[in-house]
Structure 1
Amino acid sequence: MTARFMKIAVVYLFIGVCMGLYMGISQQFTFTTVHAHLHLLGWVSMALFGVIYYIYPTASRTRLATIHFWLHNIGVPLMQGTLFIMLWSESYALVSFTITGSVLIVLGALLFMINVFRHANRERSAAS
């Protein structure tokens, strides 16, 4: 999971930087929330997931980690993609998809939390 999260994190970094460049050049800041969320949920969160799974390799090899990976990686593009379209079209027709993506991210975060709580103490005590 470590490598998967890190590779996707840098893709989100690149997308967010390109989006920021476009907004700066065009002086069009309509998509600032999408830009910020791509960096926070895409780049920063996924990179941190990768680092934490590196620190706790047992946690990274669980079914919870795999489900967390997929929930987050379906949730972020769904949430941010539909939010982008809604801001661009000035229509809230896709709000249910944005909410669905958000819920997937929250569920993934819950599984990540459970996974870390299950494995952090075991690995720390095993290393002592």
Structure 2
Amino acid sequence: MNTISLAGSERVPAIARRCLQLALVYLIVGIAIGIGMGATQDFTLRPVHAHINLLGWTTLALAGLTYGVFPALAASRLAAVQFWLHNLSLPVMMGSLAMLLLGKPQVAPALVASEFGMAGAIVALTVNAFINLRGPRAPAAA
């Protein structure tokens, strides 16, 4: 079966599925970096390992779960903005951070630009939640 469901009947929005799938890819990359650091005892890329696990695995998985549980967020244009900013910024951010840590300071502008892109992704997720996570309205006072 190609679809998964919540509570046995609701289909998970495609953006939720994509976020969760990519989060798992980032988890594998983060684990691989951690294994590599442990095997070589060279921990230069420790910040890359931490950020891939935090922004790639944890943040993206939580966004995916949020979109799955709250379909109104998934249907918002802000969800697509968050998804693309997140997944275009993170690889650039991690690659440029790795290069910076390995002694290539000329990549600093790419790092800064990708950090702003990632911040934009988090702001899009936050604004989406504040706009679309509304509880039931209280009845008007008489």
- TM-score over 0.5 for the alignment? yes
Deviation >2 Å, runs of 4+: none
The aligned runs of 1:1-128 (5 Å cut-off) are 1-88=15-102, 90-121=103-134, 124-125=135-136
Q: Which is bigger in relative contact order (C-alpha 8 A, separation at least 6)?
A: 1
Cα deviation, residue 87, structure 1? 1.6
**What TM-score do you get using the length of structure 2 for normalisation?**
0.84
1:51-70 CA-partner distances (Å, limit 9, x unpaired): 11112111101111001100
Whole-angstrom distance in 1 between the partners of 2:53 and 2:136: 34
* Number of residue equivalences: 123
Cα deviation, residue 86, structure 1? 1.7
Cα deviation, residue 125, structure 1? 2.5
**What TM-score do you get using the length of structure 1 for normalisation?**
0.92
- Consecutive unaligned residues in structure 1, runs of 5 or more: none
1:5-42 CA-partner distances (Å, limit 9, x unpaired): 00000000000001100100110000000000000000
Point out the structure with the larger helix share. 1
- Rg larger in 1 or in 2? 2
% same residue: 33
